[in-house]
A and B are shown apart, each in its own frame.
Chain A
Amino acid sequence: MGVCCCKESKEQKLDEIIAKYKDTRGALIPVLHEAQEIYGYLPMGVQKRIAEGLNVSLADVYGVVTFYTQFSLEPKGKYKINVCMGTACYVKGSGDILNKLSDVLKIKNGQCTEDGLFSLDACRCIGACGLAPVIMINEDVYGRLTADDIPDIIKSYKEKEAEAV
């Protein structure tokens, strides 16, 4: 994740990425991946800059961004919660887990909390089927869950935040 906060350095980084891939065939998707790592999402201004830099039309860039679920037009929470909706998790009750998270955070699937702390998404199989049902919060995987485990997990992140302040 990019840690820089000032606008100039982000743009500078983006230009470096574009320059790195400029002569590669099929560069658009790798560039978008790396751009999203800097910004956390892909706002229109970033898409425009990429389109100009790679000399492709903005329509192509926007088309690709909206085609792939990994690319987001909206900012995500500091803690991105992904609930695995793969078959193994589904038959073991991941729907209940998603509902519980939605209740606890008071947001729907695909939304972000007002304080920008948590965003909630149902995601495709993350391949940890042995531990089903699982959720991922950023890079951390929580497995063998029941809906009752959810409040404590969310609480632990909120406490971590409170300590940091």
Chain B
Amino acid sequence: MIYRSHVLICAGTGCTASKSTDIEEALHKLLVEHGIDKEVKIVKTGCFGLCEKGPIMVIYPEGATYSRVSVKDVPEIVEEHLVKGRIVKHLLLGDKDAEDVAKSLENVGFFSKQKRIALRNCGVINPENIDEYIAHDGYRALAKVLTEMEPNEVIDLLKKSGLRGRGGAGFPAGLKWQFAAQAEGDQKYVCCNADEGDPGAFMDRSVLEGDPHSVLEAMTIAGYAIGADQGYIYVRAEYPIAVERLNIAIRQAREYGLLGDNIFGTDFSFNIDLRLGAGAFVCGEETALMTSIEGHRGEPRTRPPFPAVKGLFGKPTLLNNVETYANIPVIINKGYEWFNTIGTEKSKGTKVFAVGGKINNTGLVEIPMGTTLREVIYEIGGGIPNGKKFKAAQTGGPSGGCIPASHIDTPIDYDSLNELGSMMGSGGLIVMDEDNCMVDIAKFFLEFTVDESCGKCPPCRIGTKRMYEILDKITQGKGEESDIEKLEILADNIKKSALCGLGQTAPNPVLSTLRYFRDEYLAHVRDKKCPAGVCKALLQYVVIAEKCKGCTLCAKKCPVGAISGEVRKPHSIDVSKCIKCGVCMEACKFDAIITQ
């Protein structure tokens, strides 16, 4: 059936939380009422990326992008746009007066600076309909590989493309495939790591929700290349929408014969099953993930032997993450030469980042490697809210570190981030402003690792706990200068001796904040002050004499009698008596009491 208009509504987790399903229902009802439900097609898509402005709705053929749409706006959109053909300008995202609405987004930095490869279909197709994926070149790469290429040619192409693993460490994907292909074994497995545990990261979730078939297609290609007939996707149970769409995608691919026996009439057969995680961060580590699929406590194993030799159920196993797989069909369709033109010398292609924290445009962005942090924060991200100053960006989650304002012009790629003491990680990018305390942030990540440490090896189990205790002491105002040195010695030992990636990288948030914000640590231990005003134990309540009218209200409210002063004269707070309850500040009608 041919439709005159297509209405794309984002059905990712972010927009669903902003009630995009209600909008879809209201829209459908109104289309029926106006009798145009056979002319206008509603397409539920994956994430457009700009979650901050969600729910997002795009109407074609005009290409009008409406933002922060609410159920109340739906009648206007139907009556004006879909019935009368008049754009609802006040809902437009970007240039509201652009002559051609399709170009209204050209000057919106959020979109113009991006290059979408892994996210190519997110927000474009309906992820629950395999036909739409196929119409966008879906399964073309698989057909080409199965009918025209030998397994070693596929691996060769991948090696030449320079694609590096998008899960964190950046290991060359082609080499990984080659190792798995060369390993001897009667049975091999292909696994997909969709256990996206880094707090503040949701790239993989968006790919799975918006374009699940691209992962299935790439895993099948991998199966052909290394000689495996079974794949597993290990996905977080916390992502119910992603799980549901993967299940639908697998079912449809089986119906179409794109999974199962004799794919494309060849001798090659491949199947994929889902395995749900159960809330353990360490399962993102490759050996722990496989132990978990086997049905055990997800504890890591020593390497070597590497999974390529002895992985899942003791068999040679290839493991890549979601975003790595999502790149592969495009590389095969367009060739490695094309992929080589994007990115930097050693980091080819693009990287998806989940940008969050103190930034105006929170959401999902895909940028060519080598884009600077400044471009990401100010041009794509729209800067810091409330006129605050940019302090640092945190990448790599609990395994990564901070990039301070002084390095804001660093081009983002694997190697430059490593040099700065951070890492690419899976792609979480959290922006922090002057109100964030870096000691507190380091403590936050250590608390996370302490909680998520599986307990198998002592450096991680005991060492991270000791580091956390020292950080806690510092934020309580009980730190000594020797504590900083102790932190550094512990960090060094843990990095060298922990069993798996979780432990080996756990000290990074501390080391990186110490490297760039040492004075902030010193302020905590020497002066017993938290410059950002976050650590409660270090706050001091003071009266601003010029603002105080001497009304005595604060003195009456203070439960410990720490405030004194004559009527109609400025009062003062005795710091030694103050218990920092904050009652005085709430009571003051003249904003004369502040914390510092």
Binding site for B on A (CB under 8 A): 25-30, 32-33, 60, 63-64, 67-71, 85-88, 90-92, 123-132, 134, 139, 141-143
Q: A132 — which chain B residues lie within 8 A by C-beta?
A: 356-357, 362
Q: What's the least CB distance linking B68 to chain A, in Å?
A: 11
Segment among B237-245, B256-264, B414-422, B562-570 that sits at the interface with chain A: B237-245
- Beta-carbon contacts under 8 Å, B557-575 to A: none
Q: B430 — which chain A residues lie within 8 A by C-beta?
A: 87-88, 91
Q: A86 — which chain B residues lie within 8 A by C-beta?
A: 199-200
Let me know if A130 and B278 touch, CB within 8 A.
no
**A90: nearest residue on chain B (CB-CB)?**
B444
Q: B17 — which chain A residues lie within 8 A by C-beta?
A: 128, 131, 134, 141-143
Report the bound CA distance from A119 to B588 in whole Å: 36
**A25: nearest residue on chain B (CB-CB)?**
B313
Let me know if B275 and A30 touch, CB within 8 A.
yes
Q: Contacts A28-B295, A85-B199, A127-B196 given; 14 further ones with Cβ under 8 A?
A: A25-B295, A27-B295, A29-B278, A29-B292, A32-B278, A63-B297, A68-B280, A88-B200, A91-B441, A125-B199, A127-B201, A127-B202, A127-B238, A131-B51
Report the bound CA distance from A50 to B196 in whole Å: 29
Known: A64-B295, A87-B394. A33 touches B205 (CB 8 A): no
Q: What's the least CB distance linking A110 to chain B, in Å?
A: 12
Known: A87-B394, A131-B18. A124 touches B276 (CB 8 A): no
Report the bound CA distance from A23 to B113 in whole Å: 51
Give the total number of A-B pairs whose CB atoms are below 8 A apart.
137
Q: A33 — which chain B residues lie within 8 A by C-beta?
A: 237, 276, 278
Q: What's the least CB distance linking A16 to chain B, in Å?
A: 19
Q: A67 — which chain B residues lie within 8 A by C-beta?
A: 280, 297-298, 454
Q: What's the least CB distance linking A62 to chain B, in Å?
A: 10
- Beta-carbon contacts under 8 Å, B275-290 to A: 275-281
Report the bound CA distance from A124 to B18 in whole Å: 20
Binding site for A on B (CB under 8 A): 13-14, 16-18, 50-52, 54, 196-202, 205, 237-240, 275-281, 292-298, 313, 354, 356-358, 362-364, 394, 397, 428, 430, 432, 436, 441, 444-445, 454
**B200: nearest residue on chain A (CB-CB)?**
A87
Q: B18 — which chain A residues lie within 8 A by C-beta?
A: 131, 143
Report the bound CA distance from A90 to B358 in whole Å: 11
Q: B363 — which chain A residues lie within 8 A by C-beta?
A: 130
Report the bound CA distance from A128 to B297 in whole Å: 28
A-B contact pairs, 5 of them (CB 8 A): A25-B295, A87-B445, A127-B201, A128-B202, A131-B17
**A84: nearest residue on chain B (CB-CB)?**
B199
Let me know if B200 and A25 touch, CB within 8 A.
no
Q: A64 — which chain B residues lie within 8 A by C-beta?
A: 295-297
Among B200, B295, B428, B454, find the residue whose CB has the most chain A CB atoms closer than 10 A: B295
Known: A29-B276, A91-B436, A141-B13. A124 touches B294 (CB 8 A): no
Known: A91-B357, A125-B200. A70 touches B279 (CB 8 A): yes
Let me know if B432 and A91 touch, CB within 8 A.
yes
Known: A68-B278, A124-B197. A60 touches B362 (CB 8 A): no
**A69: nearest residue on chain B (CB-CB)?**
B279
Shortest beta-carbon contacts, A-B, top 9: A130-B51, A88-B356, A68-B278, A141-B17, A127-B202, A86-B199, A26-B295, A87-B200, A69-B279
Q: B441 — which chain A residues lie within 8 A by C-beta?
A: 91
Report the bound CA distance from A2 to B537 in whole Å: 47
Let me know if B280 and A69 touch, CB within 8 A.
yes
Let me know if B296 and A60 touch, CB within 8 A.
yes
Report the bound CA distance from A57 to B339 in whole Å: 51
Among A27, A28, A68, find the residue whose CB has the most chain B CB atoms closer than 10 A: A68
Q: What's the least CB distance linking A52 to chain B, in Å?
A: 16
Q: A143 — which chain B residues lie within 8 A by C-beta?
A: 14, 17-18
Q: B277 — which chain A residues lie within 8 A by C-beta?
A: 68, 70
Q: What's the least CB distance linking B54 to chain A, in Å?
A: 7
Among B54, B202, B356, find the residue whose CB has the most chain A CB atoms closer than 10 A: B356
Report the bound CA distance from A91 to B51 in whole Å: 18
Q: B297 — which chain A residues lie within 8 A by C-beta?
A: 63-64, 67
Q: What's the least CB distance linking B564 to chain A, in Å?
A: 31
Q: A29 — which chain B residues lie within 8 A by C-beta?
A: 275-276, 278, 292, 295
Among A26, A92, A141, find the residue whose CB has the most chain B CB atoms closer than 10 A: A26
**B237: nearest residue on chain A (CB-CB)?**
A70
Report the bound CA distance from A128 to B428 in whole Å: 12
**A66: nearest residue on chain B (CB-CB)?**
B297
Q: A139 — which chain B residues lie within 8 A by C-beta?
A: 240
Report the bound CA distance from A70 to B136 in whole Å: 37
Among A32, A69, A124, find the residue whose CB has the most chain B CB atoms closer than 10 A: A124
Q: A63 — which chain B residues lie within 8 A by C-beta?
A: 296-297
Q: What's the least CB distance linking A130 to chain B, in Å?
A: 2
Let me know if A131 and B14 touch, CB within 8 A.
yes
Report the bound CA distance from A30 to B278 in whole Å: 9
Q: B298 — which chain A residues lie within 8 A by C-beta?
A: 67-68
Report the bound CA distance from A131 to B14 in whole Å: 7
**A31: nearest residue on chain B (CB-CB)?**
B295
